[in-house]
Amino acid sequence: MSGSSPSDQPVRSGEERDGPLLITEDEELLDDLLRLCAAAGALPEVAHHPPRRTAEWERPPLVIVGADCAARLTGSARRAGVVIAGREADEVAVLRQAVAIGAERVLSLPEGERWLVDRIADAAEGAGAPALTVGVIGGRGGAGASTLAAALAVTAARTGERTLLVDGDPLGGGLDVLLGGEQEKGLRWPAFAESRGRVAGGALAASLPRLHALRVLSWDRGAEVDVPPPAVRAVLAAARRRGGVVVLDLPRRVDGAAAEALAQVDTVLLVVPAELRAVAAARRVADGVRAVLDDVRVVACGPPGPGHGGGPAADEIARLLGLPLAGELPWEAGLPDDLARGLAPGMRARGPLARFCAGFWARVRGEGGGGPGAVAAGAAGRGDGPGAGGAVR
């Protein structure tokens, strides 16, 4: 049989532990099921019969049984996540067998392929909590939103949190450049421009550059590529299903693609320098964001050098914008030199930027709204908490 072995034991090829168990001797059906598993980003096991050992029968997150082998499930222990599939799966005998074993669904191919791809992806990725997703957007150009987004991601990843940093601004120059990884192998946004429907979260992450213990989805240095809103929706939905933390660097103009990104976001941080013109510009940006998302918070940034240069205080900036204050971020004097040397934002654990980020994650965790469990763990002991640098409200 194509794709199987003479043994009744599952055939594995390295990384399939999260994939479904396929039980069939129908070669054409097996080819179809393998194709659907590939589309879902899952690597399956293949067997002729249900495993003899209870642990092996219960271990796979999903069992897909060909209609040709449905009768072989007689006597198998009931378990959740059993699907019977085939081209004649609606035969009376198959339906009776499905009832007898408690199968969750009987479906015919090719009509049921779309459903089955989604079910395989769900099983392979698990059913954990979606990622806490934070967007960062500048109140004006050059406000430092990209730097803060990168620092938030670096801070989360440093604590062991599964982290994905997404560059949502095609005109921003590329977050991989900011992190010193423009030469790192991996896919960039243009590769996902045709994505539709379901994208597997694990396959997405594995395809992206890995920088500073996190995954980065950035833009390349080619001509600007228009990534349609459905592609943005599919990619970011896959990122959220992976769990952990997703940080998005967002453009100031809310077009169709940005609106799709905002629809996936839990909280937006609006970065506003302490100057009246920046506040005026930020008001328009905030209005555009709030048309899609209610939870928008202000991060007030101090100017370079000592003092505030006569600009409005953080509380006043938040009041003028009519938004809650997430915190005040002091200027980090050595940051430009650090970036020139390839040191990522937030890597200086005792710097104002890293302390602000650790305090923000601690604040989110304290809100009990699905914040990252490991982020900011031990922050108080390291002196990285809210009271150790930039003030976080």
pLDDT tens-digit readout, 71-101 = 888 888 889 899 999 987 777 888 888 888 8
Q: What is the mean pLDDT of the segment spanning 238-242?
A: 88
DSSP structure class, residue 334: T
Q: For residue 127, what pLDDT is reported? A: 56
Residue 374, pLDDT score: 36
Domain range list for the chain: 16-125, 132-388
The domain defined by 16-125 folds into: Rossmann fold (3.40.50)
Instruction: Answer whether 16-125 and 132-388 agree in fold.
Output: yes
Based on C-alpha coordinates, what's the Rg of the chain? Answer: 25
pLDDT of residue 224 exceeding 70: no
Confidence label for 128 from pLDDT (cuts 50, 70 and 90): low
Q: CA geometry: angle at 14 spanning 12 and 20, to 5°?
A: 50
Q: What is the mean pLDDT of residues 201-205?
A: 83
CB neighbours of 368 closer than 8 A, spacing ≥ 6? none
pLDDT of amino acid 1: 36
With bands split at pLDDT 50, 70 and 90, how would you rate the model's confidence at 147? very high
Lowest pLDDT segment from 103-117, 164-178, 218-232: 218-232
pTM of the model: 0.69
CA angle 322, 131, 113 (to 5 degrees): 125
Percent of the chain scored above 70 by pLDDT?
Answer: 85
d(CA 42, CA 313): 52
Query: According to the model, what pLDDT value does residue 372 have?
Result: 41
Spell out the CATH class of 132-388: alpha beta
Question: Cα separation of 111 and 117, whole Å?
Answer: 12
Query: Where would I find the H helices in the chain?
Result: 27-39, 54-58, 92-101, 113-125, 145-158, 175-178, 201-207, 229-241, 256-263, 276-290, 314-321, 335-340, 352-367, 379-382
Q: What is the residue whose two structure tokens read 């918070």?
A: 297
Give me the pLDDT at residue 19, please. 84
Single-letter amino acid, residue 262: L
Q: Per residue in 3-26, pLDDT tens?
A: 333 333 333 333 334 689 999 999
Rounded mean pLDDT of 168-173?
85
Would the pLDDT of 387 be above 50?
Answer: no
Mean pLDDT of the chain: 83
